[in-house]
Chains A and B, each alone.
Chain A
Amino acid sequence: MNKQVESPKGRIIKSRHVKLGTKNKKGQTFTDVNEMFFEAERTASFLTGSEVIREAIKRASVGMSIAYPITPQSEAAALIGELYAEGYLDDYFRGESEFAVMSQCAGAAFGGMRVFTTTAGPGTLRAMENFSMWAGSRLPIQVCVTMRGVNSPLSIQPDTLELSYLLESGMLLWHAETAQDLYDFILKGFIVAEQPDVHLPIAVCCDGFFVTHTKDTVELTPEDLCLTPYDPYKSPVPCMDMECPPIRMMRDPFVMKSNYISYSTHASWQQEVRAAIERSRKHTAALIGGLIDVENNDRDILIVSSGTAVSQGREAIRLLEEEGIKVGLVKIKTIRPFPHEEVREAVKNAKHIFVPEFNMAGWLAREIKSVINDNDRVICGPQVAGGMTLPSEVIVEEIKKYLGIKVGSLAGRGS
């Protein structure tokens, strides 16, 4: 049913669920991923991150989207409602809470739909139980997480803390730096998540406000091209069927009994989910151009980060360069699978590694420390919590202080 085709950068299974070149009901042409991402001409548009989510979903042949309606962090769900009204989605409705929404998504994916939803902050935590269930059930649902603060006192400012809760959920986790990343990650995320040897849920994460609410120039693929729809019959656990998994499997839950066969089945299934995350590497690298981006990593000092902290790091590097301090940059694009080899290789000559983060937990620094040699090279910070920006000057100050260079106080600068 599927054949492997050569993409310019790797091997992606080409969908033959619909005939390529035919049109959907909105007049968009079903297009192969290679053509859509690497050949089709792109046009520059000036959009907010939320609008970018809408533009991506417009081209993604999504079957169902279920929304929790309030929009404290992003109006993306409401914009997708507009797409439904225009006829781009088969179904869209308002769920009663994030927890219910994620379970509704599961039901829809069991039924063979390509499913997309969004959440943020407290909603992510409210929905939490379902994410592990998605992964264990091998449902390739995509959730776009527009990350914001979760702690009390309540904050709707950007904070990447919730990503640390998702680390071991069994989902693929990609972290977009810019609106352009977000656009590409959403579309490409469907393709990687639905590969038969992966077939896992994916959380495409971005930093709230900085990405969702600000406008940026984004190169969009043509409006009249769309992805081929999800083919439930290429699932490694066939789509809903009375006699086949996953329904067949879900009606025989593994974990309900204390016996050896239950234990070993559960254990091997968890290993399989993790193995599937690993197997996503080759598809991911082919589509998004490697799991990390590297700039001048031959320098003694490196900034290694993900999300908008990378943008701030890049600006800090420019400021430091004016003072003659040379710093390199490593941008991590996928948190799961974590780019162990790539990071280890990229930082092997660095003497000091700074990890600026938009959260107080420092989970990215921990991840990095856990995979590199001589991890006392890692300086965990600077870190800020929700409600605060992470000015590049703060990163500059952190690096200079560490190098023993005197710095003036930043107090009173309104940052």
Chain B
Amino acid sequence: MTVHPGEHKKIQDLHPEEAIAPGSALCAGCGGLEGIRLALKELGENVLIANAAGCFTLLSVFPFTPFKGSWLYTTMAAPVPAAQGVRDALDIRREAGRLAEEDDFQVMVVAGDGSSADMGLAPTSAAIHRRLDFFYFCYDNEAYGNTGFQLSGASPYGSATQTAPATAGHPAGAELGKKDLFEIWKAQNPPYIATVSPREPIDLSNKFARAKSLHGARLFLCLSPCPTGWGFDPRETHLIAKLAVDTGIFPLKEYIDGQVVHTRVPKKRVPVENYLERQKRFRHLFQPKRQDEIITRIQQGVDSYWARYE
């Protein structure tokens, strides 16, 4: 792991100001909310969020908003094009001297995994291609959570969702693997990509701090343990997030200067079972009958991922 000078080393180093107030309409224990809270601590309040319809659209509900920064909703599939328009217009106005520097702001897209992996992917790809200067924050709870947890392109193999329940004919639930957005984005060589976890605040903050000094598309995939969709007690969010990293299911990494660097490597990986068995969406793998074949396949997927780096 590379240590960068001047980076945060302990929790007390994090920015004391909050750019998002508590008490929003999101579910208790939402992992993504903690992620965006930490991100905004690092980015400050001069951020315009272009949102895609999803859970986080409930953050700014008339007449309340928890943000110190600004919020823009256009359409579900096109938060990135909206960010593009805003960025370009602000650049033009700044160049023409019609906008003071302190009135300018960073543009950040906030979208769920459904929008990011499915309907919003083409515009995102185009914006990376155009080298748009923006942040992209994807809160990844591995399904369309806001509408009742339906299968998305990011739902992992073996998880049950509303549209992919586990049945006798389909014992795994979701039968396809999780779309690897990190690799898809990487293929276009943007200046920065990172995976972050709310359970690793220092890692997350350092990644945003690093990205802040860069220009271009800076993309973040934030694992968002989802108490309602995944089926666990809200108080266990951090435990689930920790297990996701410790089992190696959710690798924390970043892509910078053309290199993928893992920022937290579990010394000895905990068996995936420990992560799966705590969630209702994987319960069919253990009850009424243990489905070893599926659990083994999930474990093999994780092992073969890490084998590439060990």
Contacts and interface: CB of A to CB of B under 8 A. Distances in A.
A63 B99 CA distance: 15
A111 B72 contact: no
Interface in B78-94: 78, 80-93
Interface stretch (A28-36, A78-86, A93-101, A372-380): A93-101
Interface in A49-73: 63-64, 66
Interface string A89-123: 01101011101111111111111110000000000
Given A247-B71, A251-B65, A100 B81 contact: yes
A251 B70 contact: yes
A250 B72 contact: yes
Contacts of A95: 81, 126
A132 B107 CA distance: 24
Contact of B78 (A91, A103, A241, A242): A103
Nearest to A63: B92
Interface string B21-63: 0000100000000000000000000101110000001101111
Contacts of A90: 92, 96
Contact of B88 (A91, A100, A240, A253): A91
B73 A91 contact: no
A112 B73 contact: no
B48 A96 contact: no
Given A103-B81, A251-B65, A252-B65, A110 B86 contact: yes
B123 interface: yes
Nearest to B47: A242
Contacts of B85: 64, 66, 103-111
A256 interface: yes
A257 B75 contact: no
B272 interface: no
Contact of B62 (A66, A91, A254): A254
Secondary structure call for the B interface:
mixed
Contact of B67 (A103, A104, A112, A251): A251
Contacts of B61: 252-253, 256-257
Interface in A248-291: 248, 250-254, 256-257, 261-262, 265
A295 interface: no
A97 B122 contact: yes
A251 B60 contact: yes
Contacts of B87: 107
A241 to B, nearest CB: 8
Interface residues of A, number: 43
B74 A96 contact: no
Contacts of A253: 57, 60-62, 73
B105 interface: yes
A113 B89 contact: yes
Nearest to B53: A256
Contacts of A361: none
A254 B81 CA distance: 22
B58 to A, nearest CB: 6
B234 interface: no
A130 interface: yes
A254 to B, nearest CB: 5
A104 B65 contact: no
Nearest to A253: B73
Contacts of A109: 85, 89
Contact of A103 (B46, B82, B90, B105): B82
B77 A252 contact: no
Contacts of B58: 256-257
A47 interface: no
Interface string B98-121: 100001010000000000000000
A252 B25 CA distance: 13
A133 interface: yes
Given A253-B60, A257-B61, A111 B88 contact: yes
B74 A107 contact: yes
Nearest to B126: A96
A102 B86 CA distance: 13
A233 to B, nearest CB: 10
A248 B64 CA distance: 11
A224 interface: no
Given A108-B89, A111-B88, A247-B48, 16 more contacts: A66-B85, A93-B88, A100-B126, A104-B81, A104-B85, A110-B72, A111-B90, A112-B98, A129-B75, A240-B86, A242-B69, A251-B70, A251-B71, A253-B61, A253-B73, A256-B60
Interface of B: 25, 46, 48-50, 57-58, 60-65, 67, 69-75, 77-78, 80-93, 96, 98, 103, 105, 122-123, 125-126, 130
Interface of A: 63-64, 66, 90-91, 93, 95-97, 99-113, 129-130, 133, 137, 240-242, 247-248, 250-254, 256-257, 261-262, 265
26 contacts: A64-B92, A90-B92, A96-B123, A96-B125, A99-B81, A100-B122, A100-B123, A102-B78, A104-B88, A107-B72, A107-B85, A108-B85, A108-B86, A113-B93, A130-B74, A137-B74, A241-B103, A242-B46, A242-B70, A247-B48, A247-B70, A250-B73, A251-B60, A252-B62, A256-B58, A256-B62
